[in-house]
Amino acid sequence: MLDRVPLYPGRVKLIPVAGQENTYDMTRADQATQQGTPLNKATFLKDDTAALFGLGAEAVPNDAFGLLAYFKNNFSNEYFWVKETHEYSASFDSSEIRLLNTSIGSEITYYENYEATKDGILLTNPISITLSDSNYTQLSGKYVYKNTNGDPGVVDNINRSGNRIGYTGRLMDLQDTLSNVEYVNSSDKNAYPPEIDDGFVYNGPKILGSFAAVETGSYVGTGGAGSSQKTSVTFSISPKVLFVSATTNGGSNALGTAIFVGGAYAGMYILSQSQDLVLSIDGNTWSWYDPGSNAAYQCNQVNTAYNYVAIG
């Protein structure tokens, strides 16, 4: 945050309100050379930041500080789970294979629908029939288990030779898409066992103190920028999150904070501006650059000291 820097500290201008005795509008007249960071909700605790703590829009900074203090005081015995939301769907192989080989007069079960679950593709709405000259074609577009008890598939073609019937189609595979990741914690090791059936997947538990590895350090900017002059830091841990922040103002627009999350996102926040950075990871070395070749945005302003915190 930035302080307001006035030429005339505390100076204000009082303007009489027309028609209202002894009532004035007050405006600043301190002729500030630096406006400073505004003191409002957006700078103290944004709604999206509060949400990361599980807090609502009405939360105040002290609520977030209280949670941080809780983690500090319980760091060695707090358990941590990754709470995942999965979406399951079915994909169909591009090549056809034989699904069933049977004959007129045989009893067979086909299925009208299917359901994709975490345990696999489940065929639903079974119908059992005895194959005849009039009904064997109704399996087209229906679902069957290969060889009646194997992998699920959908019937595309029916081939008949005399009383022998061959059904061909495509096998069905389960697609597991991770749609959302949250984090939950408890001092109870058994608070979120895998057996909980609430639609989520819980990976854990891990002791938070042993799970998190933190490395701090600093560097001085060289002024280089762009893809040919990347900024690089090599860590002794394998980071998942990296924060970089300037500590001295070596030039215009030098102050700012860069946030990198596991290679999936990299962004530079500088005063009220933001700039996407390009991040690459090679082992424990993280390198980044500003596509616009701006050294300040790249956190590499010449003669500017930067501190970083890496969390692995």
19 part of a folded domain: no
166 part of a folded domain: yes
Which pLDDT score is estimated for 271?
A: 46
Q: At residue 211, does pLDDT exceed 60?
A: no
State pLDDT tens for residues 92-112: 998 899 999 999 999 999 999
Lowest-pLDDT choice from 13-22, 177-186, 303-312: 177-186
Lowest-pLDDT choice from 221-230, 234-243, 250-259, 291-300: 250-259
| Domain tally, the chain | 2
Q: At residue 57, does pLDDT exceed 60?
A: yes
Residue 202 binned pLDDT confidence (cut-offs 50, 70, 90): confident
Residue 60, number of CB atoms within 10 A of its CB: 13
Distance CA 159, CA 169 (A): 11
Taking alpha carbons only, the member of 159, 163, 125 closest to residue 142 is 125
Write the single-letter amino acid at 11: R
143 part of a folded domain: yes
Which pLDDT score is estimated for 205?
A: 73
Distance CA 209, CA 222 (A): 36
Q: At residue 140, does pLDDT exceed 50?
A: yes
3-state SS assignment for residue 301? coil
43 part of a folded domain: no
Q: Is the same domain home to 223 and 297?
A: yes
Residue 63 binned pLDDT confidence (cut-offs 50, 70, 90): confident
Distance CA 295, CA 301 (A): 5
95 part of a folded domain: yes
Tell me whether residue 153 is exposed, middle or buried, using C-beta atoms within 10 angstroms of its C-beta: 0 to 12, 13 to 18, 19 or more: buried
State pLDDT tens for residues 256-304: 677 877 655 555 555 445 667 888 888 889 998 888 888 888 888 888 8
Taking alpha carbons only, the member of 213, 207, 263 closest to residue 237 is 213
Q: Is the same domain home to 138 and 221?
A: no
Taking alpha carbons only, the member of 172, 293, 167 closest to residue 230 is 293
Residue 204, number of CB atoms within 10 A of its CB: 21
Hey, what long-range contacts does 24-28 have (CB within 8 A, 24 or more apart)? none
Residue 223, by phi and psi: left (phi above 0), alpha (psi -120 to 50) or beta? left
Lowest-pLDDT choice from 68-72, 98-102, 248-252, 272-276: 248-252
297 part of a folded domain: yes
Q: Is the same domain home to 236 and 287?
A: yes
Distance CA 74, CA 230 (A): 39
Which pLDDT score is estimated for 269?
A: 53
- The parent domain of residue 263 ranges over 213-311
Which pLDDT score is estimated for 20?
A: 94
Q: Is the same domain home to 219 and 304?
A: yes
239 part of a folded domain: yes
Which pLDDT score is estimated for 237?
A: 80
136 part of a folded domain: yes
Q: What mean pLDDT, rounded, does the chain reach?
A: 83
State pLDDT tens for residues 127-138: 999 999 999 999
Residue 277, phi then psi, degrees to nearest 5: -110, 160
Q: At residue 62, does pLDDT exceed 70?
A: yes
Q: Is the same domain home to 172 and 232?
A: no
